[in-house]
Structure formats: structure tokens, C-alpha cells
Structure 1
């Protein structure tokens, strides 16, 4: 089918359309006019595409996506959408038009991959900054409280051993600032990991939070990890276990195939909420801020570990990291 000749001015518009393609298609979804002569994305020749239907031009997956939208356009509904084709993102705008009492569609497409990727990265950065602010407030609260308590004890008793407690707590603050900044930037790499004892790190984490009368049981095993970040992971798990399970809860840490677990004897988490608990800001009770398990998942991801939530033998929460 011959395409309609265009006046020189319109031909110039079609041929020089910046970073995009102009198409006039008919009710049979046949391309009647297309330009520029060499398409900027695929380098296909426009003359090879004129007169062909949509199904002759694109693979089935693309046709399945485009066909209903182009038919809507013929029926008078304008469409605006992104689509992925050959690894690149394209933005399409369509409008209906009447020519000699026949319905046609005008399609404009531009390649927007870089713009979309930049927007997505900015969104991810903003999300990380928001989470970072919450994480700093959440994880620094406990060691600062310990430092203040030790300082009060020193003022009351004059026992310089309390100053060692202040120093330890402030050292933990410094470690957390470094680690949380690294998490926010996703900068920790495998090269920074070392072989560490799960039992030793779990017990260090246990000492650094208010565990009331709760009990910790550990099994000896080792893992490649960043020591301080793994301690932060356990601190958040233990704080969550004691907060939900009460002062007499028992927490267990031990190995599983290709990873480790941490479980408690508390109330557990209902199956319908087990994915939600990792979402930033989600909380169920005890006045938690809703960022502790977000931190847990972020640290796990930073160590290439998948975290899943199940049930302990007593019905409490069981976190597995593999």
C-alpha cells in the first residue's frame, strides 16, 4: 500500500523529529506514514515499514501490549505510556484523527531510558536517605541511653569503671554511624567481610541492649560477614524479640544450611504480616518505630543473604538467613 505523499514542510517535520518517531496508522493498525526515513532506535528504514500491520513489524509480546492501546486510539481515546523494547524504554503518546471521514491514529514515540533510570535512582536515593534518618535515630538510641546511665552511675558513686561503660557505649555509637552510613550508600563489599563467630557476636549484641530477664542460647558456628553490621542485625532482632515476647522470652541463635537462624519463644508473627514486618515504618506493638526489621533486611541483603520469617517450635518468630 502506497503511503500518502506529504508536502515538503510536513515531510521535514517527520524526517527531523528529535529523538523519536512519528507514525500515522489506520483502523487495521497498518502503518500509513512513518518517519524519519531511518528510525533513530532500531536503524530500520521507514520505507520497509510503511503499509505493514502491527503484527508484521513487532514480536508477539510487543504486539500484545500495543494492540489494545492503538485500537483505543482509533476509537477516540488518547493514550500515554512507557514500554520496553529491545532493552530500551520508550514513551508513546497517541491521538485519534479523522482524515476524509476515516479514523486514524497518530503515534509519537521517544526513547527515555536514561531519563527513567535517573528518576528511578533519585527515588531510591531519597528512600535511602529517609530510611537512614530513621535508622540513625533507632539504633543510636540504645547505646546513648547506656552511656547516659553509666555516666549517672559514675556521678553517684565515683566508680571509674562506669566510665569504661561510657567509652564502650560511645564506641558503639561510632561504629553504628559508620555502618548505617555504609548501609545507606550500599557500599559494603564482600572484600570487607571476614570469618566471624555467630555466638560471640550474638552475645556482644545481647549485652548492648536492655534484655530485662530474657535468656539467650547460642550454638557455635561461623559466617563471612561484617562484624559490626552483623551485631546491629542481632541487636534489632533481639530488641524485637524482647519487645514482643516480654522479659522472660528465650532467644536462640544457631546455624542452618548456608546460613543461620534466630528464633524466640514469644507470641510469633501471623503469616499474613510476615512480609509486611520488613517494610519501612511498619510496626505491630510495644511502641516500636517500625525500622528495626527494615535494618535487618538491609544488612542481610548487604551480605547476599535472603531472610525468611517462619515459626519457632514454641510458636514464636523464627528468622532464617541463607
Structure 2
């Protein structure tokens, strides 16, 4: 195959001044024919050592496997645009087909974009996190707010000051939720306010703050290190989910596991085809849920260095294991 003409002065200036990048002319056999600038900005390699070498001589097998079909597609007339990881850096690569003296070649331009991609990823994750926690905030506020409104109505009907205690408790819980979830939304670090807490005590506190209808709660006590308010939010969401799906007569059980605890119910369980989706943000199977409750559960568990898995109770209901 005839070698391409050497680049003119104008082309050489473009190659040498190309910002934060590399330009390559490669042939149909995937040999690099022209490479510039002279000293490559990513690796410091000398371009003269790369010119005339085959793709397989320049990069490790993994990189060659990724690049080869894209370069061949370019030779065949299809431009390519993609990111490629090499070493610990990310490079954006653009290719275009060209013809020189009637022979097919490809032009490859690559620029190092690691910082830009990381910034975009961080921003996307931050925005997703803030969106989720905005939904979580309104989701967890719903029950204590309903309780406060209900207790206030009873006070107005009866004049009994005892109902104001329920209003005060609910408002206190609202304040805790706002502080906890706002903190989680603004920080990637878990809470350090951990203390020894009783599963029985904290689960019963959570039980009193949701509409349990005629459902029942059974507990086996153990003590774990946790942020009390966040763990209560975890139980509230699990209980709400159990009663919502299991019906007014469901029984919910809380007990210890080695290194953690479980929450299970006697309801109908979660369909096998949805078990991989139940923790996804926005996923719901009905009963009026908003699809964020189990996302909250997983997030709080992660902030306590706990994994959560979904199993089945002896009655076929849902069983959440934390360890």
C-alpha cells in the first residue's frame, strides 16, 4: 500500500498545537501512519516511536479489542465517537474516514476528558441524590403530619388537652425527619451519631407513628449501634410497607440476626419477578405507595454499614435481613 503524503506545514502546525490531544492517521491495516504532536500529552511517548506501528503493537490486548472494530468501521466509512478508558484516564475519541490517493484511511482525534467526565458524573449523582431526598422528605413527613392533624381535630372536638401531647410528639418527629434527611441529602458521609439502641424500643416507637389498623407487632429484643432517629425512619417505612401490602390483620416481626436484625411479615410477600426492583427509586406495586420507602430503607442501612437483602418469611411474606 502506498504511504500517505507527509503533512504540509499547515497540517503539521495543527498537529503540534492540538490542545490536550493527539491526532492520528491510520490505514486500512490499522497501522498508525502519522501521529502528533511529537511528544504525546497523555503518556509522554514519542510520536516517532508510534508512527509505522500496528495497533496491536501500541496498546494492550484489552484496548486493542475495544478499538479495532471501531477503527475498521471508520475505514469502511462510518465515523465513530466514544469514550475509552486507558490506564486511569478517560479519553474521548472521534474518527472520520478519508481517502488519500484513492486509498481508504481513517483520522483519529483523541482528547483526555477524565476531569470533565468526573465532574459531569458527580453533578448527575448529586442532582439524583437531591431529587430522591426531596421525595423522601415529603414521603416520611406524611404520617406524622397526618397524626398531628388528627390529634388536633380531636382536641378541637373534645377540648381534651391529652390530644395535644400527640400533636407535640408528631411535630417533634417531623422536626427529626427534616434534620436527618436534609443532612443525608447534603452529605455523602454516614451519620456519626450512633448509640446503643433497643430494637424493641425503637420499633415500637415507629409502630405508634403509622396507621397500623389492626395489624400486630412482635419483637425479640437486641441492642445495636445506630442513629436512633434514622433507624426509626427505617422501621417506619418497613412497617408502612408491610401493612400497606399485607392488609389490616398482618403480623410484623422484628428480631436479631448475627451481626444485624430482620423485619418480616405474614403477608402475601413480594412477587419473584419484582424482587430485584423493590429497592429502586420510584418503583411501587400499588396500595398508594410512592415508591421511595424502600429506597429510604436501603440508604439508611448503607449509612449504618449494613447490607439489606430480601427473603421470605415462614408464612410466605416479605422478610428483610440487615447484616
Structure-1-length-normalised TM-score: 0.97
Residue correspondences, number: 322
Q: Deviations over 1:152-201 (max 9, x none)?
A: 11112222121111111000000000111122224453632222212211
Cα deviation, residue 271, structure 1? 1.5
Aligned to 1:308: 309
Secondary structure at the counterpart of residue 318 of structure 1: strand
Aligned to 1:8: 9
Distance in 1 between residues matched to 2:191 and 2:259, nearest whole Å: 16
Secondary structure at the counterpart of residue 78 of structure 2: coil
Distance in 1 between residues matched to 2:61 and 2:258, nearest whole Å: 43
**Structure-to-structure mapping, 1:166-245, within 5 angstroms:** 166-189=167-190, 191-245=192-246
Distance in 1 between residues matched to 2:252 and 2:189, nearest whole Å: 28
Q: Deviations over 1:250-295 (max 9, x none)?
A: 1011111221110000010012101211111111121111111111
Secondary structure at the counterpart of residue 84 of structure 1: strand
Q: Deviations over 1:80-106 (max 9, x none)?
A: 000111111110000010001111100
Aligned to 1:295: 296
Aligned to 1:114: 115
Distance in 1 between residues matched to 2:4 and 2:50, nearest whole Å: 10
Distance in 2 between residues matched to 1:142 and 1:188, nearest whole Å: 27
Change (3 A) 1:170 1:190: closer
Distance in 1 between residues matched to 2:117 and 2:302, nearest whole Å: 25
C-alpha contact 1:249 1:264 (8 A) present in aligned 2: yes
Distance in 1 between residues matched to 2:72 and 2:33, nearest whole Å: 15
Secondary structure at the counterpart of residue 192 of structure 2: helix
Distance in 1 between residues matched to 2:3 and 2:194, nearest whole Å: 66
Q: Deviations over 1:228-267 (max 9, x none)?
A: 0110000000000000111110101111122111000001
Change (3 A) 1:10 1:49: same
Distance in 1 between residues matched to 2:37 and 2:304, nearest whole Å: 49
Distance in 2 between residues matched to 1:186 and 1:294, nearest whole Å: 17
Cα deviation, residue 222, structure 1? 1.6
Cα deviation, residue 148, structure 1? 0.9
Cα deviation, residue 310, structure 1? 1.1
Distance in 2 between residues matched to 1:86 and 1:2, nearest whole Å: 31
RMSD: 1.4
Cα deviation, residue 2, structure 1? 8.1
Aligned to 2:101: 100
Distance in 1 between residues matched to 2:166 and 2:12, nearest whole Å: 80
Structure-2-length-normalised TM-score: 0.96
C-alpha contact 2:25 2:106 (8 A) present in aligned 1: yes
Distance in 2 between residues matched to 1:199 and 1:37, nearest whole Å: 70
Q: Which runs of 5+ in 2 are unaligned?
A: none
